Structure 1
């Protein structure tokens, strides 16, 4: 062992509250054995400002408190603030003033009414086709620029088959409820009723004279139709099957835009109410083809959006600037990735039929109100919280004013705060140790793939190694910070005004400027103060923000362990600490690496391009592992207080479940490589994994997550240890034990050699 590792481990000792292991048998329910005492402790309750409480959320809450302290210290400096620090101060003060004003009864709907007026001006005539279509295209362009929800939007992203370059994208969007399931499944009928009550309340607050007549029914009807032509979250994971590389003109040739064939099964099951019967063809026919009128309308609307946003000029200018080949033809300069052609064959039919036009205007009115709901009145803000957080997630109260202000700063200018955060809370030695851990895991997978007895054929193994050797690892914080110089905020700006400025800034710098340019490999998609990590298939990179590197994920000494870690006689404390860290942050590292080889990540090559590098033989072997994973996932059931059963969607959670198991396998292999096989160290390792998923959730949160979240419930994730052979040997699991899985039923792909 390297001596500097030992000196680092034992620096900065800090004791943490120890949670006892449950007396329940580890062979019965290992997650309950590790976390049952904590879960069943009546003194540990979910705080009213959260819908769940556990390892991730506790760390996130601590990070928020650290950020609040930073901002309060910043405000104590009356003079000498840099431009970046001044932006943080302006947003903070404006946000806090909002709460002070609300407490004093100050607030109003002038900003929302002004935006509703702009919509009314653009769509002044629903009966005149020319005026309606021109106005609709114009206002949807405004939605794009100012971040107002709409049923589709342009974006920029790496070209799926040439990921070094960013191109224009065109995608569905705009549902208000958590997913399609909330609109169409019988078990969410009560939630749909809550949405309608919410819409009724919006009318009372904003005023019926500012909205379309019959506002509630119009919004709900349009949302329902948009949901019925959308994919479910599980279907949406198959993005390799529903993207089309085309150009702006090619968008109108909708027959050539690909879609996920499994979506066709949705349509016969769609229920069409009497007031939507005119759209039965759009909503129920899997083979629906748009009318000539709808295609003409689509061209008019999208052409107007493109013109208002000056997309052709921007694309041409950027292409000439970044690519020496010259201006190129339209197919290159105006290259566009279109997603879910089926949606676009239907959505323009829906929003342009005369019977639906007032419904669609009401829908846009709601999106305007939702966009400004945090900045106008306390009553409106509470109304949106009540539906989306209290009734859909079970969060009883809003977070403190300071935490809400920090959340706004993180949403708008997160890296400005992140730069200060890492200077105060992320010591350089943490980054160096994480690099060591990452190197251990990469070597673990490398030796696995090099083994001639690996289940993958030689050709596929060579490609897998090439991908592994090309991984980019980002730890802590970006090497290059986002530049906010073009964001001009002023003293006295209202939050609504600031939001429009921020959205316009992001539209300019994150959308227009990045179109037709090489991707910036220094960009991060999370701030350093975020408690999370990610793998990006198009960048072939794994990213670990600074804030996650705290107990119970990352330990600098055994004193920081959140469960009793007894050092058995003859064991080196450093080895025990290594087992603790590999079971926690090591398994998280290998989880993210495993994403590069999960059911979706494996479709991308070493350059981040969508490219099938698997032989048919290996793909078939992988499919057998997927089948085993689905079989395990579908055993999970959650029974709510009304007796309804909610099951896990094995396809939705496939990638995360495979990454969890791959993460465990590779991390424990790294432990064995470093210190050999040892039962006591294995026990520490598997307990550490389960402690990071310690969690309590409200019922509404649990149901919502099962429907929309690709991550499995915490208890299921913790008990995935039963797929690892060393777990069975360490805890002497026998065939009659509930945690036992026969060897041939275990999901095992990585870390076997």
Structure 2
């Protein structure tokens, strides 16, 4: 399903049944006592958890986040099932949720319809010519299907955070990442993708020989598009990605697209007056423009059809879904089995009507006392980060003062929004096909974003639903957000001692705060504007320290060489922001915990572990997971987060407080003082 792309740097922590029994603060069965803490702390702290939680066939990765997500899916599914038993008023939220849910469950209808829901759109695509009709087709697809060639969207102007601006960004690769097309080691995946496209063409009514030729042409076209695309590391360069252009500039530079048609089409859906766009990757648009001009129209038609079918496949008959899963799920991610239909059906209204579902979720599952406790913890973490900034030996007083101003200006969101989103203009019609309703919902979401153009930024809007197990920092609003669903064990446990909660949810809070000062967040001031508030000397000192962190992670072998596949190493530059935030979150939360003990007697050990040890054990157990090799390879290429094992072992190796807690002076975990780096 198409999602409205948010082009801002949104920094997150990632990629239930009710129980009356208390959840253990630290579960001793999660340990692997055959490994000493100084040899492999991650395995020591989580090896038992891994043994107890072998990967189910439907997962490519399963960890603590996924446990909560699984529990949430059951909770939400229970809510939806109850709604199907009542006669919901037409046009009500209950009707929209229950009808979308029931359509996703109706395999008999989906299999009977087969390819019928997509045939009319595909026929129109196959009549496209270069010029106005190509641009019209592109625009229509961008509104409700996907993002062929490039993407557009609205968000805060990075230089004027109070105003919403129109953005253009690179897109259009069916496999998502340019490296899949350009690196020889990914030849098998590239072949698998070509076979997927051929299957989808055949299922939609194309003769097999033609389908194979079309698929080969599409993959060749996307390979050339990949050559023009920026790498994931390059995309993290915010300043380089800010390139305002007038509409006249767009027409002159990228004339393969009829920009008058694109903006006219947007005007028809009440998005008018766009006279300026911020182009994210000018060199990509130059390459895309040249490629479109030299590519035969037949190939462009099949490219659009391929983009359309890969977006639609999950919402059509079982043969379409199976073909998509065999590539994206099985070959690319290593999953062995499709997700149960109820989970797939539940996920759509949960996404499309996220805040409506969230309103029901928090009413049943989020007590007010949890919000009060979080506000207290956030205040404590804010104080601790201020102390760290004040104590920095590499930053000047002038820059420290600006950093303190930014910290004091954080906008904190906890649990759920004060004002819920209005879905009254979204129509879900069960007389239409499931796919047509998915398109209608996608169009609604796209327009909900686009109609913000030119209007003041709503800084109270939430970018995650309350039932999302995650957290984020948004630089243009200088906000940290903690949805209700993350405030459960192992992240927040009301039955746990403070050391454990500071090591878990405290680190999550500190992590999101530190994003305001990572390699991307540091480019924004207290008001959310991209503004260099650093002295040259301080910026150089920061860069020197982060370069060390990059090299530390670059040296990590995440997969050994196997057959003709070379060894795979972590990408320290891609994960730099998250690695800075992990380290900062740990250090700040540790300080906040000790600050909370002032004037109190130090707590005694529990189950043989000191508070300091319990703090680090709680952190490690957040990242307990099992993961398939295919998923390791996939995430290493595209995820800005390090793998769970290295978020623990590689990050802790820089922290003397960790060594002191477990009396570590040697072993594989130990890093000499001169090789360590502390940033915040």
TM-score, length basis structure 2: 0.91
**Conservation of the 8 A alpha-carbon contact between 1:212 and 1:361:** no
Structure 1 residue 37 and structure 2 residue 45: aligned?
A: no
The equivalent position to 1:614 in structure 2, one of 517, 520, 534, is 534
Cross-structure match for 1:571: none
Structure 1: how far apart are the matches of 2:289 and 2:211?
21
Please state whether the residue corresponding to 1:246 is helix, strand or coil.
strand
Which of 300, 303, 312 in structure 2 is aligned with 1:372?
Answer: 312
Matches of 2:88 and 2:575 in 1, distance apart?
51
Separation in 1, partners of 2:270, 2:440: 23
Question: How far apart, in 2, do the equivalents of 1:674 and 1:175 lie?
Answer: 50
- Match 1:89 to one of 87, 98, 104: 98
Work out which of the residue numbers 172, 175, 184 in structure 1 matches 2:182: 184
Distance 1:640 1:55 in 2: 29
3-state SS, counterpart of residue 592 of structure 2:
helix
- CA displacement 1:528-568 (0-9 Å, x = unmatched): 1111111111111111111111111111113xxxxxxxxxx
Contact 2:46 2:624 in 1 (8 A): yes
Alignment match, 1:263: none
Counterpart selection for 1:26 from 37, 56, 59:
37
1:33 Cα shift?
A: 1.0
Partner of 2:581: 659
Pair 718,313 (structure 1): closer, same or farther in 2 beyond 3 Å: closer
List runs of 5+ in structure 1 lacking aligned partners.
1-10, 124-131, 255-294, 317-332, 559-576
Select which of 485, 495, 506 maps to 1:557: 495
Q: Give the Cα separation in 2 of the matches to 1:314 and 1:376.
A: 31
1:429-452 CA distance string (max 9 Å, x none):
11111111111100101223334x
**Matched residues in 1 for 2:183 and 2:538: separation?**
37
* Number of the residue aligned with 2:427: 488
1:279-318 CA-to-partner distances (Å, cap 9, x unmatched) read xxxxxxxxxxxxxxxx5434xx2222112222898443xx
Bigger Rg, structure 1 or 2: 1
Question: In the TM superposition, what is the alpha-carbon distance from 1:738 to its structure 2 partner?
Answer: 1.9
Corresponding residue of 2:10: none
Paired residue for 1:337?
A: 278
Q: 1:77 is matched with which residue? A: 86
Which of 197, 200, 219 is the matching residue for 1:199? 197
Contact 2:515 2:577 in 1 (8 A): yes
- Computed over aligned residues only, the root mean square deviation of the Cα atoms, in angstroms, reads 2.1
Deviations 1:155-198 (A, max 9, x none): 11110100111011111111111311111111111111111221
Give the conservation status (yes or no) of the 8 Å contact 1:422–1:528. Answer: yes
Displacement of 1:675 after TM fit?
1.8
Please list the CA deviations of residues 564-587 of structure 1 after superposition, one character each: whole Å capped at 9, or x if unmatched: xxxxxxxxxxxxx11100100100
1:480-524 deviations in Å (ceiling 9; x for gaps): 11110101222423211212211222233221x211000111211
- Aligned-residue offset at 1:623: 1.2
Deviations 1:455-504 (A, max 9, x none): 31111001101111111111111111111010122242321121221122
Q: Which residue does the alignment assign to 2:222?
A: 223
1:358-417 residue CA offsets vs partner (Å, 9 max, x unmatched)? 222111010111222123221011100111111111111111111101111122111111
Alignment of 1:78-117 (within 5 A): 78=87, 83-97=92-106, 99-102=107-110, 105-117=111-123
Q: Is the 8 A contact 1:85 1:416 kept in 2?
A: no
* Aligned equivalents of 1:38, 1:146: Cα separation in 2: 42
1:640 CA drift (Å): 6.0
- Counterpart-to-counterpart distance in 1, 2:239 and 2:68: 35
Match of 1:161 in 2: 159
**Residues 85 and 641 from structure 1, CA distance in 2 versus in 1: closer, same or farther, beyond 3 angstroms?**
farther
1:153 Cα shift?
A: 2.4
Is 1:532 matched with 2:470?
yes
Aligned twin of 2:640: 710
Taking a change above 3 Å as real, the CA distance of residues 79 and 338 of structure 1, as seen in their structure-2 partners, is closer
Shift of 1:213: 7.8
Counting only pairs closer than 5 Å after superposition, residues 57-72 of structure 1 correspond to structure 2 as 57-72=66-81
Q: Is the 8 A contact 1:476 1:544 kept in 2?
A: yes
**Aligned counterpart for 2:145 among listed residues 141, 144, 147:** 147
Distance 1:201 1:158, change over 3 A: same
Q: Could you tell me which residue of structure 2 aligns to residue 325 of structure 1? A: none
Q: 2:594 aligns with which of 648, 651, 672?
A: 672
Q: Give me the whole-angstrom Cα distance separating, in 1, the residues matched to 2:476 and 2:260.
A: 29
Whole-Å separation in 2 of the counterparts to 1:13 and 1:595: 36
Instruction: Quote the Cα distance in structure 2 between the aligned partners of 1:529 and 1:314.
Output: 30
1:645 to 561, 564, 567: 567
Cross-structure match for 1:726: 657
State how far apart, in whole Å, the 1-side matches of 2:412 and 2:306 are.
42
Structure 1 equivalent of residue 3 of structure 2: none
Q: Where does 1:353-368 land on structure 2 (aligned, <5 Å)?
A: 353=294, 355-368=295-308
Give 1:38 shift: 2.6
**What SS does the corresponding residue of 2:166 show, helix, strand or coil?**
strand
Q: Contact 1:251–1:338 at 8 Å: present in 2 too?
A: no
